[in-house]
Structure 1
């Protein structure tokens, strides 16, 4: 009679123990643990000999070779995740006594500077083109225009727009309750034009049969809350109609911050609008103030302009 439970291979058995370690000991969330295990699985494949896992002969050069191979053609962020996950696995292997030395320090780091890239912002006229691409004669256009106004004028994240509830709009006080990262709840001023866009959508665009208290819902039945990618899809569709390059919702958040800096708004104020916990997170926008950077530049010692 066949066993009710499939017998795991030595590799999968080790990976299952490692997954439980990540969840129970390290306290990782399930999605993060899954990513770590995926990297561990790819690395374990390189250590199989004659059907068995061989950790005893593991050397630093094997780690370097794996990182180079796994990172080839990948983004800096993906490469860094690979390195972090591999180091985590090596710590686990040492704790379990599968390797004699803690080899996590032998994993090479991935070069990357946090403030190296400039935020990719739109020109004001392109923001207007994006908004104008929403056909407000339709329910769909009313909804998308209101969402884009929240993104462009308040710098909300896509998830914050999607999670907005009817009770979060305080019409009397002219404020909006935003549920941000880390379960933070904050109240933001509601600009008149954004309020008008929301009111127009709620009066003429939101279906009477909408399910739940979520502000933005699907235009097709069943009229339930948007999917996780619904807001970004709306931005991408509007960009396509406007003849603009493909973009996501975060592009409008970058654009708002860039426009503020170029208008002379101090970084602490920009950080407050974006609701950044640390000013360092906002510092990347200092580089878009080209005129300010030019004034700070020191003359070349040789005297050349």
Structure 2
């Protein structure tokens, strides 16, 4: 005797849709960007980052208008427009357009580093608008940054270091200040804005360290910078000079009028010494070159890369590796010192 039985069927898969509705809120260029930058300021971005976002968006929208695209809302920007803009930046965009002191007759086509900075900035803004419901899809989704050859970042030779330090006239206040500044950069590998932010109270004489506040650091992390006894002595001597000439000053590095020194002013001073000594014809005489020089010298003197990473304030060893560019002579000398063959040469003979 047969009986009918109900057979339970397997349910078919249902596609999951995070947002089945395609409705969006149209936002014109200006209010969309104002909303974006207000949110980013609320997230605590730095002033420099805000300026980069603002400039990138202004350059892009100016180009949209110049090319007479029929687009007034952010959702009307297409991937084709973005790729055409990147092609324009690569091939046709005049260099230093709108610069106060440099004329536009500097050739066409921006550097890959500049273009990639704009691509990243546009990615951030369009992703924000997508998440806020102003777009169906970001036009930057499939846009990749340009491939960039990894440049060799040079550093000063021993002879160049001696020449640059010796060029400072220590009989004058400014000359002595510049000498101490370069000495500090070589000893600490600090960034220029970090070094210029130092206050006398940041220096601990007992532990021979400088405390860098998080707000002055690129990665927003406070860190301790160890100092050599020679550097500490020079810093204390400069502070005594400041107290003598400018009582009540709250920074270590001051102008000849007792005011704070900007990074632009100090880099001009470093360039001056590069021009005076002829070093500037061979390599850029900047605070950043001093930072790379300090990193290379640290490794050559036996320091390990992980301690150097902490000293430089990097979050990854990959970035630290870029700072330690060894010359062919460096490699040869270290090979002569540490080649494994030295261990077996006598035994084999």
Tell me, yes or no, whether TM beats 0.5.
yes
Trace 1:1-305 onto structure 2 (pairs within 5 A).
11-24=29-42, 28-48=45-65, 53=72, 58-72=77-91, 73-95=109-131, 99-112=135-148, 116-179=150-213, 181=217, 182-204=219-241, 207-220=244-257, 223-245=258-280, 246-285=284-323, 287-288=325-326, 290-291=331-332
TM-score, length-scaled by structure 1 = 0.77
The question of whether the paired residues in 2 share the 8 Å contact of 1:18 and 1:37 is answered with: no
1:210/1:218 Cα in 2 relative to 1: closer, same or farther (>3 Å)?
Answer: farther
Distance in 2 (alpha carbons) for counterparts of 1:217 and 1:158: 14
Match of 1:6 in 2: none
Match of 1:5 in 2: none
Q: What stretches of structure 1 of length at least 5 have no aligned partner?
A: 1-9, 297-305
CA-CA distance at 1:66 after TM superposition: 0.5
Distance in 1 (alpha carbons) for counterparts of 2:318 and 2:287: 22
Distance in 2 (alpha carbons) for counterparts of 1:23 and 1:205: 37
Deviations 1:260-296 (A, max 9, x none): 3334433223324334332222122455253469999
1:17/1:164 Cα in 2 relative to 1: closer, same or farther (>3 Å)?
Answer: closer
How many residues are matched?
282
1:277/1:19 Cα in 2 relative to 1: closer, same or farther (>3 Å)?
Answer: closer
Distance in 2 (alpha carbons) for counterparts of 1:43 and 1:157: 31
Deviations 1:39-61 (A, max 9, x none): 23333345455986266764422
Moved more, 48-57 or 35-44: 48-57
Moved more, 136-145 or 174-183: 174-183
Deviations 1:164-212 (A, max 9, x none): 1112233344443344624544444432321332233234466432443
Distance in 2 (alpha carbons) for counterparts of 1:18 and 1:128: 50
1:69/1:22 Cα in 2 relative to 1: closer, same or farther (>3 Å)?
Answer: farther
Moved more, 136-145 or 103-112: 103-112
CA-CA distance at 1:249 after TM superposition: 0.6
CA-CA distance at 1:137 after TM superposition: 0.7
Q: What stretches of structure 2 of length at least 5 have no aligned partner?
A: 1-27, 92-108, 340-349
The question of whether the paired residues in 1 share the 8 Å contact of 2:200 and 2:239 is answered with: no
CA-CA distance at 1:240 after TM superposition: 2.1
CA-CA distance at 1:236 after TM superposition: 1.9
SS where residue 176 of structure 1 aligns? strand
- Larger-Rg structure: 2
SS where residue 269 of structure 2 aligns? helix
Distance in 2 (alpha carbons) for counterparts of 1:102 and 1:187: 42
Distance in 2 (alpha carbons) for counterparts of 1:174 and 1:89: 44
SS where residue 12 of structure 1 aligns? helix
